[in-house]
Amino acid sequence: MKKLLIGAISMLIVLVSCRDRSASPQTYSEWSNYAGSKDGIRYSSIDQITIENVSKLEVAWTYSSSDKDPDNRSQNQCNPIVVDGILYGTTPRLKLFALDAASGKLKWSFDPAEADTSARHDKYAFFKVSRGVMYWQDENGKDKRILYSAGAKTYAISITNGKPVTSFGKGGYIDLAENLDRESGTFNSFISATSPGIIYKDLFIVGHRVAESTDAAPGHIRAYDVRTGERKWIFHTIPQPGEKGYETWDDKEAWKKFGGANNWAGMSLDEKRGIVYVPTGSIGGDFYGGIRKGQNLFANSLIALDAATGKYIWHYQVVHHDLWDRDLPANPNLVTLTKDGKQIDAVAQITKHGYIFLFDRENGEPLFPIEEKRFPVSDLAGEEAWPTQPIPTLPEPFARQKFGVDDLSNVDPAMRDYLKEKFSQIKYGEMFTPPSKEGVWIFPGFDGGGEWGGASVDPETGIMYVNCTELPWSLTMIDIPKNGDDHSLKGMGQVQYGKYCIACHGANLKGNGSSFPSLIRLNKKYKSEQAWKIIENGKNMMPAFKQIKGTDKDALLAYLLDLEDKEAGSTKSKIAKEPASDARGATSAKTVMDDVPYTMTGYNRFLDKNGYPGIIPPWGTLNAVDLNSGKLLWKVPLGEYPELKQKGIPPTGTENYGGSVVTKGGLVFIAATKDEKIRAFDKTTGKMVWEFSLPAAGYATPSIYSVSGKQYVVIACGGGKIGSKSGDSYVAFALPDE
């Protein structure tokens, strides 16, 4: 009888566990969600690896997908998840795979290129970015699925065989370019879900990346039925008539014209309260807002929504009328803090400009005062910059907030005059100075400050660990080129280039270092058909430009490939399978892009002639911030340049992409650096206690998990950014067996 009773109790425990995996107390001993847990804090309670033994870490296994881009333009930013001893991740070509998490042996893989017949033969279609996947199981534990996105398509894949679940959506997938409550053809069709959504009961809630241009797709937040793929709710981030925030827009038809205000960085979930926290980016058209006057809700905001219905609860706008591409770059961290002797459930949001905004999780009230400070007005015709911006009094910023002539780099004295000359070419240096033809400094730069790697938080102490890049970028506006007297296809193509391409590749087609390649002599690298496919489908981080039609596309190709009119007109529209216009100079229908008078000259890092940042080091840092008091506890350089180290120069830090993980064992693990290393730091002091050279830069966030009592740390080594070579491997570390 006693054995039967024990057996019945054991079975009940198993059934309760299977019925609702998410309802179990949060122990942080698993890594079954992006960022480790649905509260997004990137913390592991596994403490087998400690400060005392971390130096003994060795490679446990390596898995290579062998699908990196040979031109070194592919990336892999995936933070893999582990469920029941199986690791699920993605590759540079967006293949989904399942590995034995203890050995790294492949169990199965799913290739979207084989499933998507429309793009199967386009070698560029799947060189994009996926930062992770979602896991769901039904209440009986029989139906178990991975949901992940390859571009605009989100697939439901059975974990038993790696095949699409055909009862989901359109035979196994849904298209995120559909069901946006906007008439098709009224916006740039580029949509790609780079960061995974989040599971709430039988819903998955998702955002998506859109184009940076003024005609960007809307960034509305949506929830779908996990079983069927049916859309269950939508929150319009550009409010429609009758919705909260609609009255704040000067243009009452803004919701029909503008896009963006999208969640590309991920979200976090308070399952107990049923609240999802969604950070958003800017309204499309990053640097000129003269045609979108007002605060531009709900762009650049942290939004709290009812996870079951999508209904608005509260929001806070971190940047008003954004003109500086200050998207909220990472999922927020849900934390419990002690303030004035009271425990407060809070939400912390890092920003590109190096601030941390802290709010009460339930009502959105700031935990520390936030001041609305006045900043300069715009000198561009038609622009009405918002007069104030919110600046937190605490927590203390984790990035420097000032860049002046006294801050120019001292690493190489021979570069001093060169840097002074470059610095003098930009007129303004104060944060939130509006874009100008005379130039402004963006500091921290367009890529942060904080970025998509996000922050980790120790729930036992309330201390946040956040990495940061401290590199100035310059922003200079110019008039968008007009047709003038050149009515050739190439002349028309220069106009199209000014609309869609100049911001990344520059006014002279020279590009911008390793981030944006030169387009000079593009005809030596690509044939017409290849160039058209890249424009049509995008490549790596470059969005697709399907909205460019007919003669406009002929003209752009003629300009990029230096084609004569006869050659361009006879081939390009055939490639596109679109009718070319008979009337020279005829273009596509007027769009919102035609109302924009200015564009920028490119995303320009401030570098010396040797390619080093032009500001005094450190150029990359790891920071510890006590969220209870708001005080910065320590700051250490993150990364180094070996050639500078050999000259006796102390570690300078490097640009960094990817995030950290903090553990109960007293460690902060992070890769992220340009020097292709993964490191461990003492979380109390910031002292580096371990490092290892990777096969390619780990521009991703590590995952930490345990199998059969053994702790592992795994990192995706994708490289491919800021001049780094591309990689396609995952490397897992563990302590040697006793």
Taking alpha carbons only, the member of 537, 347, 456 closest to residue 79 is: 456
Whether residues 86 and 55 fall in one domain: no
Whether residues 133 and 50 fall in one domain: no
* 562 domain-assigned: yes
pLDDT of residue 18: 37
Termini Cα distance of the chain: 41
With helix as H, strand as E and coil as C, how does 669-708 read?
EECCECCCEEEEEECCCCCEEEEEECCCCCCCCCEEEEEC
Q: pLDDT of 163-198, one tens digit each?
A: 999 999 999 999 999 999 999 889 998 999 999 999
* 642 domain-assigned: no
Q: pLDDT of 290-336, one tens digit each?
A: 999 999 999 999 999 999 999 999 999 999 999 999 999 999 999 99
pLDDT of residue 342: 95
pLDDT of residue 116: 82
Taking alpha carbons only, the member of 124, 131, 89 closest to residue 110 is: 89
Domain count, the chain: 3
Residues 6+ apart with CB under 8 A from 115: 155, 164, 172, 173
Tell which of 212, 229, 264 closes a domain: 264
Q: Do 683 and 619 touch, CB atoms closer than 8 A? A: no
Q: Which residues pair with 711 in a beta bridge?
A: 706
- The CA angle 498-188-207, to the nearest 5 degrees, is 125
pLDDT of residue 525: 84
* 310 domain-assigned: no
Among residues of the chain, what percentage have pLDDT more than 90?
A: 77
Residues counted in the chain: 738
Q: Do 456 and 41 touch, CB atoms closer than 8 A? A: yes
Whether residues 170 and 202 fall in one domain: yes
Could you write out the DSSP letters of every residue in 276-291?
Answer: EEEE--PBSSSS--TT
Instruction: Dig out the tokens for 244 from the structure.
Output: 């909260």
Whether residues 259 and 168 fall in one domain: yes
Whether residues 255 and 232 fall in one domain: yes
Tell which of 264, 279, 302 closes a domain: 264
* 382 domain-assigned: no
Whether residues 129 and 232 fall in one domain: yes
Whether residues 578 and 685 fall in one domain: no
Question: Per the omega criterion (within 30 degrees of 0), is the bond before 190 cis?
Answer: no
Residues of the domain holding 256: 78-264
Phi, psi for 364 (deg, rounded to 5): 80, 10
The DSSP bridge pattern shows strands 688-693 and 703-707 to be unpaired
* 318 domain-assigned: no
Instruction: Dig out the tokens for 635 from the structure.
Output: 């700051």
pLDDT of residue 228: 98
- How many CB atoms are located within 10 Å of the residue 69 CB? 18
Whether residues 84 and 53 fall in one domain: no
Whether residues 52 and 82 fall in one domain: no
Whether residues 65 and 107 fall in one domain: no
DSSP secondary-structure letter at 23? Answer: G
CATH number of the domain that residue 668 is part of: 2.40.10.480
Instruction: Please tell me the distance from the alpha carbon of residue 97 to that of residue 110, in angstroms, as a whole number.
Output: 6
Question: Per the omega criterion (within 30 degrees of 0), is the bond before 444 cis?
Answer: yes
pLDDT of residue 497: 85
* 165 domain-assigned: yes
Whether residues 46 and 163 fall in one domain: no
**Side chain identity at residue 497, one-letter code:** Y
pLDDT of residue 660: 98
CATH number of the domain that residue 102 is part of: 2.40.128.630
The DSSP bridge pattern shows strands 58-64 and 726-734 to be antiparallel
**Side chain identity at residue 701, one-letter code:** T
* 325 domain-assigned: no
pLDDT of residue 590: 76
Low-confidence ranges of the chain (pLDDT < 50): 1-24, 571-587
* 356 domain-assigned: no
Instruction: Please tell me the distance from the alpha carbon of residue 298 to that of residue 254, in angstroms, as a whole number.
Output: 12
Tell which of 234, 264, 294 closes a domain: 264
CATH number of the domain that residue 516 is part of: 1.10.760.10
Taking alpha carbons only, the member of 70, 35, 78, 56 closest to residue 729 is: 78
pLDDT of residue 734: 98
Whether residues 123 and 258 fall in one domain: yes
